[in-house]
């Protein structure tokens, strides 16, 4: 593997591979990933946390880790780990409940930096995105110049570090940011692809999960280089002929996926895992209303009308049920969403002799984007009065999520 990856720390800005002009017809793709984003924001707001293991997580009995900073990762703490396991591994850590409104605020600044170099932005989460800067090369001297502008702009405006990977496709750009973390800055040039890819464990390749990795290892394919050199019989035996062709292409460093901007939202969901099982229907209905408020607000903020409401119900320990129904008219009013979701919950509750819930969630899907100049159907059901939703969205947007809730949600307060 090239020496750039083996060096870490403050010298990361110099780890940029071979600086050169992109070839004609070649894309210029940047992958940006904020380092330990939630935990870094907490350290930014409370400098006394610097140098300490910081874990942002649900703090209840069934909480899950959202982000752990690099100090905490030394103890084996990682994202998606149960908070109880994290406490066992790192009893001296600082455990903080997530502040999503604050993270969104910082994310908006970060994405504002992206927009200064290209409109071609594919957001993957609050702290991660692909940028297609091919057209921007005419304004800047190189992809490295654009990447450095993004990295330094984020640092100047937020005080946070971002890892920046650059390449001629999404696969390699993401790999570059991963290999150079933390505070990374790396370009993988076309003539360097094999040097970076071949030594990596085959499980590092996108689309290769644990099952596929084990199958590949059984036929002697342990690294990406092994896969590239493997004969078709061995590869087909391990992952099947259909997956084999795609996988070989990826392992050669080939990826034709475009950067997709403004991708249509497939679903909007909110769920909650209870610290103690819920055994009373009124309490379950209160939590359901709380989730309906959240998904309704998010749909309204995006100007989306949903057709389908789904309810996710998990009995202890991990038996999960899903129920869904259509809204009478596509929309995003909390009252309408809750009416459908509540009916689904009540039917499920009545069908179980001893209903208990470990988790409850609501998801909206089947979206139609609304347009102000569309002619309304005079025979459609009357539109709901959204004035209460508008006031609630305005107050929560100014003072933070949950500042104003419906009275029915108050039963959930104090049980978080």
Enumerate the active-site residues. Answer: 128
Token readout for 406 is 């419906």
HEC string for 43-67: HHHCHHHCCCCEEEECCCCCCEEEE
> Which H or E run includes 74?
none
HEC states along 315-331? ECCCEEEEEEEEEEEEE
Residues composing the chain: 416
Please state whether the peptide bond connecting residue 51 to the residue before it is cis, i.e. omega within 30 degrees of 0: no
Q: What is the CA radius of gyration of the chain?
A: 24
According to the annotation, is 33 in a ligand binding site?
A: yes
Q: Angle at the Cα of 379 (from 377 to 382), degrees rounded to 5? A: 85
Residue burial 112-125, b: 16+ Cβ < 10 Å; e: rest: ebbeebbebbbbee
Question: What dihedral do alpha carbons 292, 295, 298, 299 form, nearest 10°?
Answer: -100
Binding-site sequence positions: 33, 127
Binding-site sequence positions for Mg(2+): 33, 127
């Amino acid at each position: 593997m090239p020496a750039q990856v083996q060096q870490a720390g403050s010298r990361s800005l110099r780890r940029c591979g071979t600086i050169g002009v992109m070839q004609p017809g070649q894309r210029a793709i940047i992958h940006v990933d904020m380092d330990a984003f939630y935990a870094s924001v907490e350290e930014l707001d409370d400098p006394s946390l610097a140098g300490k293991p910081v874990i942002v997580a649900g703090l209840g009995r069934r909480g899950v880790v959202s982000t752990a900073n690099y100090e905490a990762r030394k103890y084996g703490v990682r994202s998606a780990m149960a908070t109880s396991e994290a406490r066992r591994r790192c009893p001296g850590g600082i455990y903080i409940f997530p502040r999503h409104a604050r993270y969104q605020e910082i994310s908006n600044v970060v994405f504002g930096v992206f927009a200064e170099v290209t409109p071609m932005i594919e957001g993957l989460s609050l702290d991660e995105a692909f940028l297609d800067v091919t057209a921007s090369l005419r304004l800047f001297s190189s992809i490295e110049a654009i990447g450095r502008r993004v990295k330094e702009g984020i640092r100047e405006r937020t005080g946070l570090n971002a890892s920046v990977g650059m390449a001629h496709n999404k696969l390699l750009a993401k790999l570059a940011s991963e290999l150079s973390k933390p505070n990374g800055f790396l370009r993988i040039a076309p003539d360097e692809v094999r040097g970076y890819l071949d030594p990596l464990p085959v499980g590092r390749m996108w689309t290769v999960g644990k099952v596929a990795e084990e199958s590949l290892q059984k036929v002697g394919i342990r690294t990406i280089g092994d896969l590239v050199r493997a004969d078709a019989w061995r590869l087909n035996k391990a992952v099947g002929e259909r997956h084999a062709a795609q996988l070989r292409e990826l392992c050669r460093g080939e990826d034709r996926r475009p950067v997709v901007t403004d991708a249509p939202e497939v679903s909007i969901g909110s769920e909650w895992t209870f610290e103690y099982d819920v055994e009373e229907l009124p309490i379950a209905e209160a939590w359901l209303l709380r989730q309906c408020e959240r998904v309704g607000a998010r749909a309204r903020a995006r100007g989306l009308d949903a057709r389908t409401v789904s309810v996710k119900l998990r009995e202890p320990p991990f038996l999960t049920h899903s129920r869904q129904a259509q809204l009478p008219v596509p929309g995003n009013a909390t009252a309408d969403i809750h009416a459908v979701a509540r009916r689904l919950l009540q039917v499920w509750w009545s069908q179980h002799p001893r209903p208990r819930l470990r988790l409850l969630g609501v998801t909206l899907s089947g979206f139609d984007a609304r347009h102000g100049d569309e002619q309304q159907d005079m025979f459609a059901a009357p539109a709901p009065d959204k004035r209460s939703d508008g006031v609630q969205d305005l107050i929560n947007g100014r003072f933070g999520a949950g500042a104003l809730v419906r009275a029915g949600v108050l039963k959930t307060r104090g049980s978080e």
